[in-house]
Structure 1
Amino acid sequence: MAITHTHKGKNLKLHKAFKSPSWGMDTVLVTDTWDYVSLWLKRNKKGDAQFYWEQAKSFYEATKILPKTSAPLTAYYCFLNASKCLLTVKGIAFDKRHGVSGWSKLGRVSLSKEIVKLQNKGVLAELCRYYGETINKNTYSIKDIFFNLPFIHRAYHLTFTSEQPLFLPISNPEYVHAPGSKKSWFTATLDQHYVHGQTASLLPPTFEKDAGDNTCYRVRRKKRFNWTRGAVNVESNLANLTNYHQDTRKHVFYIHGPMRLWYLKRNKRNLTGFIERHSVPLIFCAMHRLSELARYTPNYLVKHFDSQHNWLLSEFIQTSPLQFIDEISSEITGQEFMVPGRANR
């Protein structure tokens, strides 16, 4: 039986922060993270970053009171300034251009005809590089971006009913080791509703079923990292874990909310529209294109709300600010945030 790693008396589970998680710290319980992050920036003397954060908050507050045909404009500028805050905190220089452009293909109104193009310079470019991603002026449709966002995945499949699910719900995601061994790995339990004869073929190539556990369908990463027991090895162990964690988080995503909801992104075999990027840059891309429509061709944006995908689009505009800011807040501080009264998963 694998043994869960601990640090500061706490089990080491999958962390919301992608790059620099503060292992072993208590979860911060807040209704929203704006004031906490602002105080954190002030305490750590991040004046320039704090300016961007306050700008982001102002745009966020404006977004909540605007109609859905106008909200994308202020939501995007919320994302832009929050991203600048993160990059400034991390000491990453950035070209102040947005780093993304877009256009609509001719024809009937469709999410598949709304295109975004990543640029090699700009805020988005550095945001992608922060998450370890390369930029090659990639182009994506908003439809494909929505397909790759777990927090609107249910709405996506209620809109496009013929397409296969991309995300597999998991629980108890943690880092473990074998008794008497320094070899360690990531493991989690797959939701039983997704267990069937073809389950193994859905797992990413770097994951496998743990054949040693017959109590559930347990998945684990094939790759291992070293964790040597003993107080003198704490910093080395945490460095190994953090590097391994970054690779793991390329496959595992979460939904912001009162519960810890984690999802494994299935392999891309036989799938169209699969994008190998973190949720944060993808949210940034999609909202940028919608903000262009809200600013320059609002009548055309209205046509989207008169189509079959109107609810999906509304869900994205309403929920993406919550998801984006929660993820950015964890990246800035290295801490995890949950709404008070949360349940574990």
Structure 2
Amino acid sequence: MGFKPIKHKSKIVKVHKALVTPDFNNKTVLVRDHWDYVEMWLQKEKKKEALMYWRQAESFYKASVAIPETASPLTLYYCFLNATKALLTVKNIAFVENHGASGTIQDGDTNLKNEEIKFHANGILSSLCGYFGEPCNNDVYSLKDLLYNLPYIHRCFNLTFPTGYPEIYIPIVNPHFVIMNNSHKAWFYAELSGNYANQHTLNKIKSSGFEKDIGIDNRFVIRKKKRFNWYKSGANKTQNVENLTNYHKTLRKDIQYIHGVETLWYVKRKDSNKCIPRHPLTIMLASMHRLSELARYEPTVIFRHFELKQNWLLSEFIKGAGIEFVDKIACEITNQNLMTPAVRTVK
């Protein structure tokens, strides 16, 4: 029977970094500066209002680099807020001019689990949730649980809190789409490697609709049970990209990445009661909002957080949030796969 990779415009179709409206017709774009590239894109598309928000976001980002971690959440949050407004404006999504989030401190010791964030039904955060198809009905989460659900600091989180929070991000390699020979049925394909290439790992992600390809012996290949139609010829071929886009949108809710010269992809487990089914952008915006409140109104509290065992986790979140947020939202704004070019060593 067998299968082979799907090709579109002579290239193997891989998982896209944009979730909602990924552009599968164009090549990956190599950019050294996301700010410059998106600014040029917005100018080309004549998105003047979004361009204003984007430039404001960049100004706040640059300001955050020059101040300490106990203060930078304030400028980073306004960077995220304005970048989100740029996205919503480009997508013609109406938004109410308020934050859409609020934070409170529960009684007890200074602790990440006592910092709570409420997702309001209206506001910028709510509109961003709506963009990703997420509900926003006054849900309340602890800052600790929100940080647990971010892939780029997940290893740091597990080392900081080694008990009670199982690993929920399973690394995968070679994620792409394949089609069965002599058929129009296609599906998602990826490989588990190293210590993760076993049935125990597969059991953790079965609830997300993954299964092992038992026809492959020399690699531990996983695939989505759900299929989509990809036509090699005929009138239905014009539907291919639309079919792929719809399938990909659902898939990407289970597949997340860490930005870098090489994109690192992960399957997110659903079988932990600490899993929050939200996009990293909404989680980062809400988390940074709470830290910005502390930096602005209760600086003694944020200083205490940095005196405790979670100081490394908070530091990694704040230091990495800027580029992670900007990369993800830039891909959503432009619908493109944006990658940082690798530097080749000349011998």
Q: Choose which of 189, 209, 214 in structure 2 pairs with 1:211.
A: 214
**1:259 aligned residue:** 262
How big is the alpha-carbon RMSD for the aligned residues of Structure 1 and Structure 2?
1.3
Q: Structure 1 residues 289 and 204 mapped into 2: Cα distance closer, same or farther (>3 Å)?
A: farther
Which amino acid counterpart does residue 204 of structure 2 have in structure 1? L
Q: Is 2:198–2:220's contact at 8 Å kept on the other side of the alignment? A: no
Give the superposition deviation at 1:31.
Answer: 2.1
Q: Which ranges of structure 2 fall in alignment gaps of 5 or more residues?
A: none
Equivalent-residue separation in structure 1 for 2:114 and 2:33 (angstroms): 35
Give the superposition deviation at 1:192.
Answer: 2.5
For 1:123-272, what aligned pairs fall within 5 Å after superposition? Answer: 123-162=124-163, 163-205=165-207, 206-230=209-233, 232-268=235-271, 271-272=272-273
Which amino acid counterpart does residue 247 of structure 2 have in structure 1? Y
The ranges of structure 1 where at least 4 consecutive aligned residues each deviate by more than 6 angstroms after the TM superposition are none
Equivalent-residue separation in structure 1 for 2:116 and 2:193 (angstroms): 34
Which amino acid counterpart does residue 167 of structure 1 have in structure 2? Y
Equivalent-residue separation in structure 2 for 1:32 and 1:304 (angstroms): 32
Give the superposition deviation at 1:181.
Answer: 0.7
Equivalent-residue separation in structure 2 for 1:165 and 1:121 (angstroms): 33
Q: Is 1:258–1:340's contact at 8 Å kept on the other side of the alignment? A: yes
Q: How big is each residue's C-alpha offset from its partner over 1:133-159, in whole Å with a ceiling of 9 and x where there is no partner? A: 111211111110111100001110110
Q: Structure 1 residues 171 and 342 mapped into 2: Cα distance closer, same or farther (>3 Å)?
A: farther
Q: Is 1:118–1:124's contact at 8 Å kept on the other side of the alignment? A: yes
Q: Is 2:38–2:334's contact at 8 Å kept on the other side of the alignment? A: yes
Q: How big is each residue's C-alpha offset from its partner over 1:154-173, in whole Å with a ceiling of 9 and x where there is no partner? A: 11011011232110000111
Q: Which ranges of structure 1 fall in alignment gaps of 5 or more residues?
A: none
Q: Structure 1 residues 324 and 204 mapped into 2: Cα distance closer, same or farther (>3 Å)?
A: farther
Equivalent-residue separation in structure 1 for 2:55 and 2:193 (angstroms): 40
For 1:1-345, what aligned pairs fall within 5 Å after superposition? Answer: 1-162=2-163, 163-205=165-207, 206-230=209-233, 232-268=235-271, 271-341=272-342
Q: How big is each residue's C-alpha offset from its partner over 1:218-257, in whole Å with a ceiling of 9 and x where there is no partner? A: 1111111111112754441100100000000000000011
Q: Is 2:119–2:139's contact at 8 Å kept on the other side of the alignment? A: yes
Q: Secondary structure at the match of 2:232?
A: coil
Equivalent-residue separation in structure 1 for 2:104 and 2:307 (angstroms): 20
Q: Is 1:49–1:84's contact at 8 Å kept on the other side of the alignment? A: yes
Q: Is 1:12–1:24's contact at 8 Å kept on the other side of the alignment? A: no
Q: Structure 1 residues 66 and 120 mapped into 2: Cα distance closer, same or farther (>3 Å)?
A: same
Give the superposition deviation at 1:21.
Answer: 1.0
Q: How big is each residue's C-alpha offset from its partner over 1:74-127, in whole Å with a ceiling of 9 and x where there is no partner? A: 000000000000010001111111111111112111111110000111111110
Equivalent-residue separation in structure 2 for 1:252 and 1:342 (angstroms): 27
Q: Secondary structure at the match of 2:42?
A: helix
Give the superposition deviation at 1:197.
Answer: 4.3
Which amino acid counterpart does residue 258 of structure 2 have in structure 1? I
Percent of matched pairs sharing the same residue: 46
Q: Secondary structure at the match of 1:176?
A: strand
Equivalent-residue separation in structure 1 for 2:310 and 2:33 (angstroms): 29
Equivalent-residue separation in structure 1 for 2:77 and 2:238 (angstroms): 38
Q: TM-score, normalised by structure 2?
A: 0.96
Give the superposition deviation at 1:336.
Answer: 1.2
Q: Structure 1 residues 8 and 139 mapped into 2: Cα distance closer, same or farther (>3 Å)?
A: same
Q: Structure 1 residues 197 and 236 mapped into 2: Cα distance closer, same or farther (>3 Å)?
A: closer
Q: Structure 1 residues 23 and 306 mapped into 2: Cα distance closer, same or farther (>3 Å)?
A: same
Count of residues in correspondence between the two structures: 341
* Deviating more after overlay: 209-218 vs 14-23: 209-218
Q: Is 1:10–1:24's contact at 8 Å kept on the other side of the alignment? A: no
Q: TM-score, normalised by structure 1?
A: 0.96
Which amino acid counterpart does residue 287 of structure 1 have in structure 2? M
Give the superposition deviation at 1:277.
Answer: 0.8
* Deviating more after overlay: 154-163 vs 315-324: 154-163
Q: Structure 1 residues 91 and 338 mapped into 2: Cα distance closer, same or farther (>3 Å)?
A: same
Give the superposition deviation at 1:196.
Answer: 3.4
Q: Is 2:269–2:275's contact at 8 Å kept on the other side of the alignment? A: no
